[in-house]
């Protein structure tokens, strides 16, 4: 069984800005699928100007699994083995009409019901970009290219052994390293047991990590320590709040109980006084 994929690309072109519905995406996508994919891609392209190297992204919503690479086109292309013609074409795509480096998410979407998850490489993903984007690079209007699922024949994935992640709240953290990041990407890409998760590598901004919704993240050891410390501090604060609430409840309960006793004693004294008056 081969892997069935449809390309998905988030990029600008020479003169046109990013399309909120992607430059290339599966034709079968509903609005909810576009929203899901866009949310993950925007999360992975955050603080892009600070990115060194690339980020690998895998996201699963139960029905589809999306996987690919985020980075500046120049950096992604540098990882590929290209012939002279493709290298010349590629170099035309590195900068926009204002001389700015262009970045993109280049990936595929897999229909989980009919799939055999296999390897994705720089060369394969860059080939998608050249095939879909190069012909429209100089157009002056936006468009969305809709694609069907097709079968591709790539290498089967052998899962790699990696260290256990650090668990912080509901998130899982690995220390980033370019070789390990790619191994983790392939592991999550082919994991048939996991569902409803997301993975993003090489996030080196503390605020970006802190505000991220990704389930699995690779980042620096320093950020992992800060996240762990912050989680511990939050947990301690919550425990103190619970304790304070409990003390307040006990005090309020005691005050209420004492108030009832005073009321009962007052009523008893009132009855005694009434009885004395009647007897007199």
CB 58 within 8 A of CB 66: yes
Residue holding tokens 């694609």?
147
Q: How confident is the model at residue 265 (pLDDT cuts 50, 70, 90)?
A: confident
Fill in the DSSP letter of residue 169: T
Query: Is the Cβ–Cβ distance between 37 and 185 less than 8 Å?
Result: no
- H and E: helices and strands count for the chain: 7, 11
Instruction: Name the percent of the chain lying above pLDDT 90.
Output: 72
Token pair for 63: 């029905």
Among the ranges given (80-84, 182-186, 205-209, 254-258), the one the predictor scored with the smallest mean pLDDT: 254-258
Min mean pLDDT across 87-101, 107-121, 183-197, 247-261 is at: 247-261
**DSSP assignment letter at 75:** H
Predicted pLDDT at 249:
58
The Cα 5–Cα 157 span in angstroms is 16
Separation between Cα atoms, residue 50 and residue 47, nearest integer Å: 6
In angstroms, rounded to a whole number, what is the distance separating the alpha carbons of residues 167 and 170? 7
Question: For 46-71, how does the pLDDT look when each residue is reduced to its tens digit (9 = 90+)?
Answer: 999 999 999 999 999 999 999 999 99
Q: What is the pTM of this model?
A: 0.82
The pLDDT tens digits for 103-128 are 999 999 998 887 788 899 999 999 99
Q: Among 190, 220, 154, 181, which residue's Cα sits nearest to residue 71?
A: 181
């Amino acid at each position: 069984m081969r892997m069935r994929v449809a390309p998905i690309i988030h990029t600008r072109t020479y003169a046109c800005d990013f399309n909120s519905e992607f430059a290339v995406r599966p034709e079968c996508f509903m609005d909810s699928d576009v929203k899901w994919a866009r949310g993950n891609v925007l999360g992975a392209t955050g603080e892009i100007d600070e990115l060194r190297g690339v980020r690998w992204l895998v996201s699963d919503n139960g029905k589809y699994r999306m996987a690919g690479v985020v980075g500046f086109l120049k950096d992604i292309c540098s990882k590929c083995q290209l012939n002279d013609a493709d290298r010349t074409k590629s170099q035309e795509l590195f900068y926009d009409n204002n001389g700015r480096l262009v970045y993109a998410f280049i990936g595929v979407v897999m229909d989980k019901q009919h799939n055999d998850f296999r390897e994705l490489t720089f060369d394969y993903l860059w080939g998608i970009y050249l095939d879909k984007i190069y012909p429209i690079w100089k157009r002056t209007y936006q468009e969305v290219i809709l694609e069907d699922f097709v079968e591709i024949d790539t290498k089967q994935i052998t899962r790699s052994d990696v260290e256990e992640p650090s668990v912080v709240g509901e998130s899982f953290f690995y220390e980033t390293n370019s070789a390990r990041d790619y191994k983790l990407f392939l592991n999550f890409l082919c994991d048939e047991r996991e569902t409803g998760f997301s993975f993003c590598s090489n996030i080196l901004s503390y605020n970006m990590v802190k505000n991220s919704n990704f389930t699995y993240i690779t980042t620096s050891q320093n950020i992992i320590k800060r996240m762990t410390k912050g989680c511990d501090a939050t947990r301690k604060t919550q425990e103190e709040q619970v304790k304070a609430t409990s003390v307040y409840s006990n005090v309020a309960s005691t005050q209420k109980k004492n108030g009832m006793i005073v009321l009962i004693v007052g009523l008893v004294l009132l009855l005694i006084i009434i009885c004395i008056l009647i007897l007199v």
